[in-house]
Amino acid sequence: MINLSKEKNVMPVLDPQLRIQTFDEVALGYTLEQAQDEAKRCLDCKHKPCVNGCPVGIDIPRFIQKVIEGDIEEAYQIISESSLLPSVCGRVCPQETQCEALCVRVNKGESVAIGNLERFVADYHYEHQKIESTKIIPNQIKIAVIGSGPAGLSAANDLSKMGYSVDIFEALHTPGGVLTYGIPAFRLPKDIVQREVDMLKSQGVQIHTNVIIGQTIYIDELFENGYKAVFLGTGAGLPKFLGIPGEMLNGVYSANEFLTRINLMKAYEKISETPIQLAKRVAVIGGGNVALDAARAAKRLGAETVYIIYRRSMKELPARLEEVHHAIEEGIIFKMQMNAKEIIGNEFGFVGKIRCVDMILGEPDESGRARPIEDINSNHIIEVDSVIMAIGTTPNPLIIQSNPDLNATRQGCIITLGDSGETSKEMVYAGGDVVTGSATVILAMGAGKKAAMAIDQKIRSL
């Protein structure tokens, strides 16, 4: 029988007043009963529109039916056919613009909570199932994967299941890419990332940390060392700054630096030797997930006032809806249609104020969103001790610099041939943010998957 409720089963969350004092996960997940009750809202459509909204094409109605039947392990196996990181994607995907946007129940009420169900299934699986290594028939062909973010992990997973001997090379000291240094624990607990990495290792994938491609080792050397193909999943890690006066002041961070200090280096823990500024008033420039992560992390470090400064309106915020709600509950102040023009220092060389102007929303631009135009007659001075720039990132130029034969766009994104991930360099494939510029975890995973298939086909054809 179908659950006719127009609304999703609400996911239990930590109380906002309590959670802003910790980095513990905010959303607590469904119980089995809540999940089954929610699963019954699925109409099990024959034409499955939701599947088209999922970048990796998970058979959503089929896994949801298994949840109703109480066969959670089977549900997990169905998801695993298409996705490597369900406990991650269930948490961080912007479902409202993907699978859930196409759910027929949106016509009269809320969509089925597909993301919450995916997360439930993955968490349940890990709680009840011991990690078992899948039977793999090795083919002795070596493939190198550069970068251990979602794209690299996904490519490595698929290639190793096909029998390839996969080595991942990671520049930082901990694998996971943005899952480790970018997304804070209150949204994605780090043990979840760890167990996905452990699963890969149990499959025989080797992860080499502290290896920087283009510095420690070069792509051409990998081929000399017997690798038959290389997958580049190096992401878009180079932060942008606005280019306004005062960006060199103490207390101005890129979101990447701020979040790396917190997430990777654990600067919020007393035992950590990595310092971080404990500001009382913080302005975060930008409106994406990274901006919200930085703002909410600043709050948890003890900031009393945290502003999000964004050029457009609430309606255009690119961040996930759920995170915007969480941020509002946590007391983050949204200053919309505003742009930072200047950061003003105090006598100690630290940030003292930020000067902003109002933005008027004009006609839609190429992106289809209203073009923000500066109101030069307006002027706002906001007193802050810290400014965090979360206005986007571009791919790191190291890879292109060390491989002039890799074609790239002016922004430094690697150019690939269609969906396959094939680059201009022979047997080198690329996918994820290094190709698209900063996008989502699931798109990066999808790209890793497609490249793995293309690499396999190419090697078989040789």
Partner 1 sequence: MFLITDKQNLTPTVSLLKIKAPDVTRHAKPGQFVMLRVEENGERIPLTIAEANQTDGTISVIFQVVGATTKKLSLLKKDDYLLDFAGPMGKPAKLDGLKKVCVIGGGVGCAIAYPIAKALFDKNTIVHTIIGFRTKDLVFLENEFKQISEKSFLVTDDGSYQNQGRVTDILKDLLEKKETYDEVYAIGPLPMMKYVSELTKKYQIKTIVSMNPVMVDGTGMCGGCRVSVGNEMKFACVDGPEFDGHLVNFDEAIMRNKMYESFESKKYQEVCNTLKEESK
Footprint (CB under 8 A) of partner 1, residues 248-267? 248, 250-251, 253-254, 256-257, 260-261, 265-266
Q: 350 has which bridge partners? A: 250
* Candidate residues 21, 31, 133, 216; the one interacting with partner 1 per rule CB under 8 A: 216
Hey, CA dihedral for 386, 389, 395, 398, is it positive or negative?
negative
Report if residue 439 touches partner 1, rule: CB under 8 A.
no
* Tokens representing residue 9 in the block: 């089963």
Report if residue 206 touches partner 1, rule: CB under 8 A.
no
Nearer to partner 1, 122 or 249 (CB): 249
Q: Helices 114-128 and 60-69: crossing angle, nearest 10°?
A: 60
CB 180 within 8 A of CB 193: yes
Nearer to partner 1, 399 or 454 (CB): 399
Report if residue 273 touches partner 1, rule: CB under 8 A.
yes
* Candidate residues 128, 173, 280, 325; the one interacting with partner 1 per rule CB under 8 A: 173
Report if residue 209 touches partner 1, rule: CB under 8 A.
yes
CB 451 within 8 A of CB 459: no
Residue type, 415: I
Count of residues interacting with partner 1 (CB under 8 A)? 39
* Candidate residues 53, 55, 86, 239; the one interacting with partner 1 per rule CB under 8 A: 239
Report if residue 247 touches partner 1, rule: CB under 8 A.
yes
Report if residue 275 touches partner 1, rule: CB under 8 A.
yes
Instruction: Give me the least distance between CB of 220 and partner 1, in Å please.
Output: 12
CB 134 within 8 A of CB 203: yes
Instruction: Give me the least distance between CB of 227 and partner 1, in Å please.
Output: 15
Instruction: Give me the least distance between CB of 214 and partner 1, in Å please.
Output: 10
Footprint (CB under 8 A) of partner 1, residues 347-406? 349, 396-398
Q: What are phi and psi of 184, to 5 degrees?
A: -70, 160
* Candidate residues 21, 31, 133, 215; the one interacting with partner 1 per rule CB under 8 A: 215
Interface mask (CB under 8 A) for partner 1, residues 314-353, using x and -? -----------------------------------x----
Residue type, 353: K
- Angle, alpha carbons 268-274-280 (nearest 5°): 50
**The length of the chain, given as a count of residues:** 462
Footprint (CB under 8 A) of partner 1, residues 116-155? none
Instruction: Give me the least distance between CB of 392 and partner 1, in Å please.
Output: 13
Stretch that binds partner 1, among 21-29, 34-42, 195-203, 206-214 (CB under 8 A): 206-214
Nearer to partner 1, 402 or 424 (CB): 402
CB 250 within 8 A of CB 351: yes
Binding residues for partner 1, per CB under 8 A? 171-173, 209-212, 215-218, 237-239, 241, 243, 247-248, 250-251, 253-254, 256-257, 260-261, 265-266, 269, 271-275, 277, 349, 396-398
